[in-house]
Structure 1
Amino acid sequence: MITVLIADDQPLQRFGFRMLLEGTPETEVVGEAGNGADAVRLVEQLRPDVVLMDIRMPGMDGIEATRRITAAGARTRVLILTTFGLDEYVYSGLRAGASGFLLKDARPEELIAGIRAVATGDSVVAPSLTRQLMDAYTDAARPVPARAEDRRLAALSDREREVLIAVAQGMSNTEIAEHLTLTESTVKKHVGRMLAKIEARDRVQAVIFAYDEGLANPRRSS
C-alpha cells in the first residue's frame, strides 16, 4: 500500500485526487494540506510515501515545502502537480528535491503510474518533458567558470558516462538500449550504478547533474 498526502489549496482539487486514489487498491490517502506549512507538518507526523504537491499555495508555497521535506531526510518523496507546464517554478521544485512533476490534467492512469514510480524511487518526468525542461534550464543558466571535474563524474566508467549523457538527452531505457546496442536489462543496471555513483536519487537529479557538469547540451547532436 502506497500512502499519499495531498497538498493543494483548492478543496475541490483535493477532493478529486482523494476520490481517484481511494478508488485505487494500492494507494491510501493519509492526509490533506491546504498550504506548504501544513504539508511539512503532516509529513513529519504521518510519514507518507508520496506527497502530491501543488506549487502555488498561500503562505509557504510548494517549492519551499518540498525543500524542507527533502532536507529533513525523510523517505517521503514529492511529486509536483501543476497546471502551468514547464515554468521556472517547476524547475525550482525539481531543484528543491522533488522527484518529478505531472500536469494536473494528466489522465488518471498516468497519475497512478507516477505515484507508483515515485514511491519506488524512480522519476516521473517523461523523456519529452525532460528535453523541454533541459532546454529551459540551458536558456536560463548563466555561464560558469571552468572548474575541476566533479569526483562523482570521474568515478563513472566510460559506459556509465554514455548512459548519463543519454539520460540527460531525455532518452528512455528502450531508446538508450537501441542507441548503445545493449539490452534493456543491461541499460537498467548501468543506470542504477550511474545514479549511485553520482549520488542522485533519480533520473531528474541525474539530468540536472549532467547539465551542471557541462556533460550534455540539448542543442548539440550526440
Structure 2
Amino acid sequence: MIRTIIIDDDPFVRLSLRTILEAQKDVEVVAMGGTGEEAAALFDEHAPDVLLMDIQMPGAGGLEAAERILAAHGDARIVFLTTFSDDEYIVRALRLGARGYLIKQEVATIAPALRSVMAGQSVLGDEVLERVEALVRAKPAPSAASERVPSVLGVLTERERAIVELVAEGLDNREIAARLYLSEGTVRNHMSAILQKLGLKNRTQLAVCYYRGA
C-alpha cells in the first residue's frame, strides 16, 4: 500500500482526493490536513510514503512546509498538487527536491503519479512539463546560470557540467558545440555519457535535474 497524506486548505478538495485515491487498491490515505504546519506535524507522526500537498495555503504554504520536512527527512517523497503552474513555483519546488508537480485538473494522473514516485521517478503534469520545456528554451542570465550547479552533477566532469549548463540555457547540440569549440559528434557522445551517469532519459529530464538544484 502507498501510505499517503493529503494537505489542502479546501475541505472539499481533500475529501474528493481521498475518494479518488482510496478507490485504488494500492493507495491508503492515512491523514489529511489544511495547512503547512499540519503537513509537517502529520508527516512526523505518520511517516507516509508520499505527501500530496497544495502550494498556496494560509500561514506556511506548501513550499515552506516542504523545505521544513525535507530538512528533517531528506528522503521524503513530496508531490505538489496545485492549480498554479507558475514558473517560480515550479523551479522552487524542483530545487527543494519535490518528487512531482501536478495540476489539480489532471485528476486521472494522480494515482499513476504516486506509483511512479514510489518507483523512484519524478513526475510532472502535462502543463508543468510544457512550462519546464519553456524554461529550458529560455536562456537565463549568465550570473544565474553560474550559480546553479546542483550537487548531483558532482559525478560529472568539468566539461560535462559545462554542457549541462548550456542545455539548461536551451542550447541545442550544434550551439553547444560552437560555444565550447567541439564537434557535434563529441557533444552527442558527452550527452549520452551524462544521461547514463545521472540515470536520465532525455534533455528535458536533464534540465529538470539542473533546475532542481538537488
Q: Assess if the C-alpha contact under 8 Å between 1:63 and 1:93 holds in 2.
A: yes
Q: 1:156 to 1:143 in 2, by over 3 A?
A: closer
Q: 1:209 to 1:117 in 2, by over 3 A?
A: closer
Equivalent position of 1:112 in the other structure: 111
Equivalent position of 1:92 in the other structure: 92
Following the alignment from structure 1 to structure 2, what is the Cα–Cα distance between the partners of residues 101 and 152? 20
Q: Deviations over 1:24-76 (max 9, x none)?
A: 00100000011000001110110001111101111110010111111213432
Q: Assess if the C-alpha contact under 8 Å between 1:67 and 1:96 holds in 2.
A: yes
Aligned-partner SS, 2:42: helix
Aligned-partner SS, 1:31: strand
Q: Deviations over 1:59-114 (max 9, x none)?
A: 11001011111121343211111112234223222222211211101142x11111
Unpaired segments ≥5 residues, structure 2: 171-187
Equivalent position of 2:23 in the other structure: 23
Equivalent position of 1:43 in the other structure: 43
Q: 1:205 to 1:61 in 2, by over 3 A?
A: farther
- Aligned-CA RMSD value: 4.0
Amino acid at match of 1:116: R
So what's the TM-score if we normalise by structure 2? 0.69
Q: 1:93 to 1:24 in 2, by over 3 A?
A: same
Q: Deviation at 1:139?
A: 5.2
So what's the TM-score if we normalise by structure 1? 0.67
Aligned-partner SS, 1:144: helix
Equivalent position of 2:176 in the other structure: none
Amino acid at match of 1:115: L
Following the alignment from structure 2 to structure 1, what is the Cα–Cα distance between the partners of residues 96 and 42? 18
Q: 1:21 to 1:204 in 2, by over 3 A?
A: farther
Equivalent position of 1:9 in the other structure: 9
Q: Deviation at 1:194?
A: 1.3
Q: Deviation at 1:3?
A: 0.6
> How many residues end up aligned between the 2 structures?
188
Asked if 1:194 corresponds to 2:198, the answer is yes
Equivalent position of 1:67 in the other structure: 67
Aligned-partner SS, 2:124: coil
Q: Deviations over 1:163-201 (max 9, x none)?
A: 968x967xxxxxxxxxx7xxxxxx8x97563159xxxxx
Following the alignment from structure 1 to structure 2, what is the Cα–Cα distance between the partners of residues 211 and 61? 21
Q: 1:84 to 1:211 in 2, by over 3 A?
A: closer
Q: 1:150 to 1:44 in 2, by over 3 A?
A: closer
Following the alignment from structure 1 to structure 2, what is the Cα–Cα distance between the partners of residues 92 and 49? 22
Q: Deviation at 1:144?
A: 1.2
Listed as ranges, the matches of 1:129-208 within 5 Å are 129-136=128-135, 141-144=140-143, 153=153, 155-156=155-156, 191=195, 193-195=197-199, 206-208=206-208
Q: Assess if the C-alpha contact under 8 Å between 2:34 and 2:57 holds in 1.
A: yes
Q: Deviation at 1:127?
A: 7.4
Could you say which structure has the higher helix fraction? Answer: 2
Q: Assess if the C-alpha contact under 8 Å between 2:101 and 2:128 holds in 1.
A: no
Aligned-partner SS, 1:28: strand
Aligned-partner SS, 1:113: helix
Following the alignment from structure 1 to structure 2, what is the Cα–Cα distance between the partners of residues 204 and 95? 15
Say which is worse superposed, 9-18 or 149-158, in terms of deviation.
149-158
Amino acid at match of 2:92: S
